[in-house]
Structure 1
């Protein structure tokens, strides 16, 4: 769970959820009914963040239409909307630090997820990844257990596009920069052979300079937000933040 005072803290008094049902063509060859979750982040009321903007749309009459604009733009993850200006600002990250924004009376903030991604997760539809950043400090094993308990696993970063996205997402909020993160990957079984949670052999790495250390005592991946989210091999025994990923599958008729 995320710590008190951050945006993502599960479904509670800080969030409100509505469901938008839209007929659209996503990754299927025929139109399908998609259900989009619009989640309102109470912590950001009367606050706007002006970074990571995908686009800004004018003359939008209500928040439902604004959220639909985000749903229709595959790059969009979240929106700021101000009724007075009828302005809908689309973003490709989910912000997690209200103190990074500016005061703007009447502005509300919503995130959008669909295709089975839970409402309070980050949903990058271009990369087809769905995940939630956890700010609790836990060991590698305890983080795995927590992700597994909700049907998730540690985030898999298996190409440069995912690595760049995670760098952008973590860097988008000042609260995200304070600690390192557990991510999926271990050579605990055979030193030097890095495997993902499902047994696949890893072929992509984003090592920090000087890593991997190739020590039999350092068998788990840690990503460092102060070093462009690059990786080191660590023992896994010290408390770090972690990122749970949910596998999502689109079923076409």
Structure 2
């Protein structure tokens, strides 16, 4: 059985139910604030549950910090995974937002209708895919520029995630040059980096999002390569 390291699951959390969704409290972020890349702040907020409710009401919101001593909600469109990326601020609490069928610990972008999880263990394509399918999931489907930009921003948001390459959904193993998703749907959007795909028939049939120094643009990769991966749960 594959032993995977699910980084998101290493962070302790507890749910707080709010109307049709709930906030997942990331206890490892208690008294920690990540101030970069926030969308906006709201002042004069006296309870953390109010922050979660306001996040729920904004479809762009993925997570929120409640800055208790300042009575502020700070809203983000990504989920932070590395407490060491923040600074100490006493009384700060951090919540990710989950609604519908997207389970706690996953990143839920409601505008793009995508629910996914980054896996930071480096394993082969077949083993990574087997791990996704064991939960009824598949590799992340990136079928437009908005999803590509969001996933790249999510990867870059945490130091623990941004130094790796990732397997994504898509293959031309059946017919060279004809890229399709796991369900057979033809791919029409691509984010290839310069010089890719290489067109190596029978050798490089799978999509890899390159590392940070290549802006996480895509290349065609081999089945035997070992990379990190992103699993997506259909909603």
TM range (shorter): over 0.9
> CA offsets per residue over residues 68-122 of structure 1, 9 Å max, x none?
0100111100011122221110000001111111111111110001121112111
Task: Tell me if the contact between 2:80 and 2:158 (Cα under 8 Å) persists in the aligned partners.
Answer: yes
Q: How high is the TM-score relative to the length of structure 1?
A: 0.87
Please name the residue that 1:251 is paired with.
Answer: none
Secondary structure in 1 aligned to 2:172?
strand
Secondary structure in 2 aligned to 1:99?
helix
Select 2:222's aligned residue among 235, 245, 248: 235
**Cα RMSD for the two superposed structures:** 1.3
1:244 aligns with 2:213: no
CA separation in 2, counterparts of 1:123 and 1:136? 21
Secondary structure in 2 aligned to 1:211?
coil
> CA offsets per residue over residues 131-150 of structure 1, 9 Å max, x none?
11111111111111111111
Secondary structure in 1 aligned to 2:155?
helix
Q: How high is the TM-score relative to the length of structure 2?
A: 0.94
Q: Which runs of 5+ in 1 are unaligned?
A: 22-34, 249-253
Secondary structure in 1 aligned to 2:161?
helix
Please name the residue that 1:78 is paired with.
Answer: 63
Secondary structure in 2 aligned to 1:188?
coil
> CA offsets per residue over residues 146-187 of structure 1, 9 Å max, x none?
111112110000111111111111111111112100000011
Moved over 3 A (4+): none
Task: Tell me if the contact between 1:153 and 1:245 (Cα under 8 Å) persists in the aligned partners.
Answer: yes
Secondary structure in 2 aligned to 1:141?
helix
1:197 aligns with 2:195: no
Please name the residue that 2:13 is paired with.
Answer: 15
